[in-house]
Amino acid sequence: MQNKEIILVTGASSGMGRETAIKLAKEGYIVYAAARRLDKLNELKEYGCIPIQMDIAKEQEIEDAVNKINKEQGGIDVLFNNAGIAVQGSLEETDIDDAKKQFEVNVFGLARLTQLVIPYMRNKGAGKIINTSSIAGKVHGPISSWYVASKHAVEGLSSSLRVELQPFGIQVVLIRPGAISSELISTYVDGMVKRSGNGPYAEMTKTLVEWSKSRDNNPKYSSPPSVIADTVYKIIKSKKPKTSYEVGKTSKQMIWSRKLLSDRVLDKMMLNFLKS
């Protein structure tokens, strides 16, 4: 039986977005799966998803995608802002253009898409906007300044937006993934090595790369993307979802460490780990 709600999932070509789009389509929702390249979405048609091209860093493609969905369905009931990139490396060695790209995708693209779906939800008096943050949105870390900054921005944007939209019946929810097995791991590790693997931060970078590779796709340390899909489905089904969800291995522990430990103590623990 098909649900009437229209759902847009960004970053649906792989990982968390792909799993979520498939899960929701199987549950009977009308799911638009968005990504930069349509050919990466062909397989999703088998599950009932509707592929749609959208580079979240290109405003025209965002507008075209939303206009297409509005024309075909009348509007979007649930937006899952999942698309994102991880620009890793020391702040000193990261080109400002790369840093700007990080924010174009993770913050400004997310915000522009959200702007375009709000009017329909507001007029309807209902809707859900689910934003993918990260434990990096609460817990800082070395050799990832720009990524951490972008996720802190998503946290602040989402919290303010939650208050703005509450009078209109629109719910804003944050998901903070912990260690999730994803193609993003290899991508950000490569970028980290390229930027900081041979300079003054080489030792830090080497330790972080080895640590990341040892945990990716290891069920002892990382969770499958399906845990995110299950959480998004839970949020959609809930009449009153929580404002945020920590999901995946290490997520809850890291968030609690941020609450319990002072900046100095947490910094010292990180530096001791990098020296070990």
For the stretch 208-247, what's the b/e string if a residue is b when 16 or more beta carbons lie within 10 angstroms of its beta carbon? bbeebeebbeeeebbbbbebbbebbbebbeeeebeebbbb
Rounded distance, CA 48 to CA 25, Å? 6
Q: Smallest Cα–Cα separation from 149: which of 66, 204, 88, 200?
A: 88
Asked about 147 being catalytic, the answer comes back as yes
Tokens 């649900």 label which residue?
A: 3
Distance CA 43, CA 54 (A): 17
Q: Do 153 and 103 form a contact (C-beta atoms < 8 A)?
A: yes
Question: How far is it, in rounded angstroms, from Cα 247 to Cα 53?
Answer: 28
Euclidean distance between CA atoms 214 and 176, whole angstroms:
21
- One of 29, 32, 120, 147 is an active-site residue; which one? 147
How many angstroms separate the Cα of 162 from the Cα of each of 80, 109, 122?
15, 18, 13
Which positions are catalytic? 147
